[in-house]
Amino acid sequence: MPFTAIEKILMKHSVDPLEKISPGEFVTAHIDYVGFHEGNEALTYQMFEAAGELKGVWDREKVGMFLSHHFCTGHSDDLAANQKLSREWAQKYGIRVFNFGSGICHIVIMEEGYAYPGALCLFADSHATAYGAVGAMSTQAGQEMIEVLLTGKLWFRVPTTHKYIIEGKTKKGVYPRDVIQYIVREVGLDASVYSAIEWDGPYIHSLPVPLRFPFSLMSVELGAKCSFIEPDEITLDYIKKRVKVPYEVVRSDPGAEFEKVYRFDVSNLEPQVCAPSSPGNTKPLSEAIGIRVDQVCIGTCTGGSIYDFREAAKILKGRSVKARTLIVPATDEVNRQCAAEGLLQVFVESGCNLFPPYCGTCQTLSMGHLGPGEVQLHPGPRNWVGRTAEGSYAYLASPATCAASAIEGKIADPRNYL
């Protein structure tokens, strides 16, 4: 009987040996890696206390604490105290702490090889779907992390799998960040609620791994529980020096059942802009040209890879920005690579401000807070009301569109600068 990759990963990790599995069934599975960030997790530790005091965790090598996400540097009394609590909680159990400057947790986990083909990972954050980009199954877990810390196991409902096939080659000035937000608009925010998404097709498999992250990470913006991209030669090359444990590549069997199949051809796609205040509110860039932006961020989890900064630097080289502009590399690795290639020099000379590797201004908790009525543009995954200051607005676009818009101080077409 043929199974999808996600079904096979769940079967492989099941506590009870399984020869078959179907969507809707419940499975208790062993977990390979779990992560926390500082966000509201201090509240989570307090909730853990409801279960009692821990003597330790099931395997401290398989747990990470990432001070990377919501507060970056602790810039207020409350946030600094919260970060201290997160650090101390992790240190008490011998859990590795990734301090600010390490970068956004989800990308760090893939760079450091904690997620790998066939692995089952959890993170106390919705964008945990990201690790599908390296052929792992990964999803969010919150308060129930206490069960995982105590036993290394958690229950799952087996999801149906939806296949999203992307074909064609994008035109100049059109990037993965444009493609994913176009797809979210086309199929809707609830297209894949509680399902797994398998991303496939020649377009996906032509991309370097970091440019696959927007698809796996933003799968949750389509309602998905987890994502999956079948590992290919590009994936295996990416993880070669990163993954330190033995692994087995898992693939969907020929004839496996996909509940829905979507097909997209991106050959004629124009650059896209997502308008306030929902990640489903995307339109062609041409309909947003000229909208004033007070602040631009280039970076974040879905626009902070080395490939993104190379494009942004091409546009910014020799030009000056009008909008106040934050450069936020996704990770320390990306930051170092930007430095090595001279990109940071380009950004500084164009008047951009360099920030530590971090989550970005998708949620303005630690940097780039906006005043009432102010507008920002960034390549992060979300622009919901409630993520930034009251009465402020966010547009989403590719890092290249962000760079062009920073120069003009209004939403601009990157193709004019490439």
Q: Write out the residues near other proteins by the rule CB under 8 A.
A: 26, 39-40, 43-44, 47-58, 70-71, 78-79, 82, 124-126, 139-144, 146-147, 149-151, 155, 189-190, 193-194, 220-221, 223, 225, 278-280, 363-365, 382, 384-390
Dihedrals phi, psi of 405, to nearest 5 degrees: -70, -35
Of 64 and 210, which CB lies nearer to other proteins in the complex structure? 64
Of 143 and 345, which CB lies nearer to other proteins in the complex structure? 143
Judged by DSSP in three states, 215 sits in: helix
> Quick check: bond before 277 cis, omega within 30?
yes
Instruction: Give me the least distance between CB of 225 and other proteins, in Å please.
Output: 5
Taking the C-alpha atoms of residue 154 and residue 145, their distance in angstroms, rounded to an integer, is: 8
Q: Are 74 and 80 in contact (CB under 8 A)?
A: yes
Instruction: Give me the least distance between CB of 414 and other proteins, in Å please.
Output: 27
Tell me, what amino acid is at 83? Answer: Q
Tally of CB atoms within 10 A around 374: 17
Q: Are 223 and 280 in contact (CB under 8 A)?
A: no
Taking the C-alpha atoms of residue 227 and residue 122, their distance in angstroms, rounded to an integer, is: 13
Instruction: Give me the least distance between CB of 148 and other proteins, in Å please.
Output: 11
Instruction: Give me the least distance between CB of 104 and other proteins, in Å please.
Output: 15
Token digits of residue 123: 């993170």
Of 43 and 245, which CB lies nearer to other proteins in the complex structure? 43
Overall size of the chain counted in residues? 418
Token digits of residue 276: 């306030």
- Helices (H), ranges, 283-398: 306-316, 332-340, 343-349
Beta bridge partners of 274: 282, 396
Q: Are 294 and 402 in contact (CB under 8 A)?
A: no
Of 187 and 343, which CB lies nearer to other proteins in the complex structure? 187
Sheet of 63-66: strand order equals: 96-98, 63-66, 33-37, 120-123, 137-140
Instruction: Give me the least distance between CB of 67 and other proteins, in Å please.
Output: 14
Q: Are 177 and 398 in contact (CB under 8 A)?
A: yes
Of 57 and 108, which CB lies nearer to other proteins in the complex structure? 57
Cα torsion 301, 334, 60, 156: sign:
positive
Of 261 and 389, which CB lies nearer to other proteins in the complex structure? 389
Of 343 and 370, which CB lies nearer to other proteins in the complex structure? 370
Of 261 and 385, which CB lies nearer to other proteins in the complex structure? 385
Judged by DSSP in three states, 176 sits in: helix
Of 54 and 97, which CB lies nearer to other proteins in the complex structure? 54
